[in-house]
Amino acid sequence: MREIGHFIGGKTVAGTSGRTADVLQPMDGTVQGQVALASAAEVRAAIENAKAAQPEWAAMNPQRRARVLMKFLDLVHAEYDSLAELLAREHGKTIPDAKGDIQRGLEVVEFCIGAPHLMKGEFTDGAGPGIDVYSMRQPLGVVAGITPFNFPAMIPLWKVAPALAVGNAFILKPSERDPGVPMRIAELFIEAGLPEGVLNVVNGDKEAVDAILDDQDVKAVGFVGSTPIAQYIYSRGCANGKRVQCFGGAKNHMIIMPDADMDQAVDALVGAGYGSAGERCMAISVAVPVGQQTADRLVEALAPRVEALKVGPSTDPAADFGPLVTQQALDRVKGYVDLGVEEGAKLVVDGRDFKMQGYENGYYMGGCLFDNVTPDMRIYKEEIFGPVLSVVRAENYEEALRLPSDHEYGNGVAIFTRDGDAARDFSARVQVGMVGVNVPIPVPIAYYTFGGWKGSGFGDLNQHGPDAFRFYTKTKTVTSRWPSGVKDGAEFVIPTMN
Ligand code: NAD
C-alpha cells in the first residue's frame, strides 16, 4: 500500500493531519494507496517554505530559470512510459491517452522556455523632455494552483510552468483522486535544478483549499474543476484580494451541417465523445445535426460505431476507453442515462449494463447514445462527464448556432461543414470560447490561450499562452528623468507630456 504525503521544501513529507483518502485503481477497483489530506497548518508550512525560497529564485536571471524547465523536459521524456502508466492506473484512462495528457503539459513547458522574451517590458525613449518611460513584469510572490482529476499531468503543468518561469514560488493542490503524477512532477523539478521550496505539493480536500484561499501570502490562485467549485473559489479568493482565474465545467456541442463529410463527422464524434470515457472538459457531449435528413444519416452511422466501442482496462493497448474514475462517478453517469430515458429522450445505444470480464470491480460502462434530446431536458442542460452523447436535432443553421450560444456553459464548440462561409459566420457569432472548424476538440496549442466563456470560466485571463505570463506577473511602470543639471524648483501642476 503506497502512502502519499506532501512535497514541501524539496522533499516528500508524511501527512500529520490524521486524515487520508483512498487512491483507487479504477480498472479493477482496488485501493492502491492512501493520500494524506493536509490540515490548514500543513498548508501554512508549505506557504512559509515557498515564501522563503521565492526571492532567490526570482533574482536568478530568466535564462537560468528557463534552463531548469529544459532539463525538466529531458527528465520527463526519460520516464515517459512509467509516468503514463502511473497516471493511467490512478485515473483510469488508457496508456496512450495518458501519454497525450503528459505531452499537452510538456508543450506548455516548452512554450515557457521563452519566458525571458515573454517577460520583456515596453520602453518609450523621450516620452517628454529628458523623460523615458518603461514597464517591467515582476513575479507575484507565492501563487497556487488547484487542479482536477481528469488531467493530472497536463493541468498542473499548465499552472506550474509559467508561474515558475517568471520567478514565482508555487503551491500545487492536485486532485486527491490521482496525486501520484503531480508528486513525481515536483520531484523531477528538483532533479532538474529547481531550488528547494519553490514548488510545493500539498495534497488535500476542501480544508487545504480554504487554507490556500484565506492565506494572505498567496497572491494568485489558478483553479480548474467543476463549475460550482470554480464559482466558490473565484468569489472567496477575490474577496481575499487575490488574483483568481477559475475554469469550470462544459457542455460542448458539435454542429453537423448537411454538406459535412459524414464519415469524418462520425469519426470525430466517436473519438471526441467517448475518448477518456467522456471525462474531458473538451469532450463533445452534444451532436447537433442540421436538418432531418442529416440527423437520420448521422444517427444511423453513429449507432453501430458506439455499439462497437472497445471498453477495456487502462493497460489494454487495444481499448478505446477505460473505466470511469470512481464508483460514485459511474453511479452518477448511469443515473443521468436513467434520467434521460425518464425525460423522454430515445436511448439508441445503452451501455449501462456493460461488465468487464475479469475486472468486475472496475468502474466500467459502455458508450450510450441518445437521440431526440431537447434543450429543456436536464441531460442537455447539465454536464454528465461520462461516455454519453446526446443528439439534439436542429431544423436549420440559425437554430444550431443558438444552442451552444444560449447554453449555460461555453467551453468548446465545433462545426463540421465544407462551406467556408458557414464556418466563418459560425466562428464569429457563436458565444463559446474555443471553436473548432472540422476539428472536434479545439484545445488551442500552447502558444495560444485556453479558456471557456460563461459558466465555463471566471476571471479575465486565460490559461497558457501569453495570458499566463500576464496572470502570473504584475506590471510596474517607471517614468524616469535624468536632470540636465538645471534646477527649476518644485512643480505644483500635474506633469503632462506637452
Ligand atoms: P472538482 O471541482 O470536484 O475538483 C477540482 C478541485 O477542487 C480538486 O482539487 C478538489 O480537491 C477541489 N475541491 C473539490 N470540492 C471542493 C470544495 N467543496 N471546496 C474546495 N475545493 C474543492 O472537479 P473534478 O471532478 O476533479 O474535475 C472534473 C471537472 O473539471 C469537470 O466539471 C470538468 O469539466 C472540469 N474541467 C474543466 C476544465 C477547463 O479547463 N474548463 C479542464 C478540466 C476539467
The domain limits of the chain are 2-248+456-478, 252-437
The single residue listed with the C-alpha cell 510545493 is 200
Q: How confident is the model at residue 368 (pLDDT cuts 50, 70, 90)?
A: very high
Query: Quick check: CB of 226 below 6 Å from ligand 1?
Result: yes
β-pairing, 252-256 with 412-416? parallel
Q: Span 83-92, mean pLDDT? A: 98
CA 216 to ligand 1 center in whole angstroms: 23
pLDDT higher than 70, residue 442: yes
Residue 366 CA to residue 162 CA, distance in Å, equals: 38
Termini Cα distance of the chain: 73
Four-way CATH pick for 2-248+456-478: 3.40.605.10, 3.40.50.300, 1.10.30.50, 1.20.1050.10: 3.40.605.10
pTM beyond 0.90: the answer is: yes
Cell reading at 101: 495528457
Catalytic residue among 112, 246, 281, 368: 281
Per cent of the chain over pLDDT 90 is 96
CA nearest ligand 1 atom 43, residue: 281
Q: Element (H or E) spanning 263, and its range?
A: helix 262-274
Instruction: Look up residue 148 and give its three cell numbers.
Output: 482536477
Whether the CB of 249 sits within 6 Å of ligand 1? yes
For residue 226, give the ligand 1 atom closest to its CA. Answer: 32
Average pLDDT in the 4-28 region?
98
What average pLDDT does the chain have?
A: 97
What number does the ligand 1 atom closest to the CA of 173 have? 9
| Residue 7 clears pLDDT 90, i.e. is over it | yes
Distance of alpha carbon 468 from alpha carbon 104, whole angstroms: 15
**What is d(CA 222, CA 246) in angstroms, rounded to the nearest whole number?**
6
Q: Which of 40, 45, 46 is nearest to 210 (CA)?
A: 40
The verdict on whether 368 is a catalytic residue reads no
CB count in 10 Å sphere of residue 486? 5
Q: Rounded to 5, what percent of the chain is helix, strand, coil? A: 40, 25, 35
With a 6 Å cutoff on the Cβ, whether 148 touches ligand 1 is yes
- pLDDT band for position 487 (cuts 50, 70, 90): low
pLDDT confidence of residue 263: 97
* Bridging pattern class, strands 169-173 and 199-201: parallel
| pLDDT greater than 80 at residue 137 | yes
Residue 485: its pLDDT value, please?
Answer: 63
The 10s digit of each residue's pLDDT in 309-361 is 999 999 999 999 999 999 999 999 999 999 999 999 999 999 999 999 999 99
Pocket test residue of 6, 226, 411, 454 for ligand 1, highest count of atoms within 8 A of CB:
226
Measured from the Cβ of residue 252, the count of other Cβ atoms closer than 10 Å reads 30
All residues at 6 or more sequence positions from 15 whose CB lies less than 8 Å from its CB, including other chains:
5, 6, 36, 37, 38, 42, 203
Secondary structure class of 410 (helix, strand, coil) = strand
Q: How far apart are CA 91 and CA 158, in angstroms?
A: 18
Question: Helix, strand or coil for residue 130?
Answer: coil
Task: Name the 3-class secondary structure at 107.
Answer: helix
Q: Does ipTM come in above 0.90?
A: yes
Query: Which fold would CATH assign to domain 252-437?
Result: Aldehyde Dehydrogenase; Chain A, domain 2 (3.40.309)
C-alpha cell recorded at residue 407: 447554453
C-alpha cell at 446: 500552447
If you measure from the C-alpha of residue 150 to the centroid of ligand 1, how many angstroms do you get, rounded to a whole number? 9
Residues 271-305: tens digit of each pLDDT: 999 999 999 999 999 999 999 999 999 999 999 99
Mutate to test the pocket of ligand 1, among 229, 324, 409, 448 (most ligand atoms within 8 A of CB): 229
Atom of ligand 1 nearest to the CA of 249: 34
Task: State residue 239's pLDDT score.
Answer: 98
C-beta separation of 351 from 377 below 8 A: no
pLDDT at 486: 60
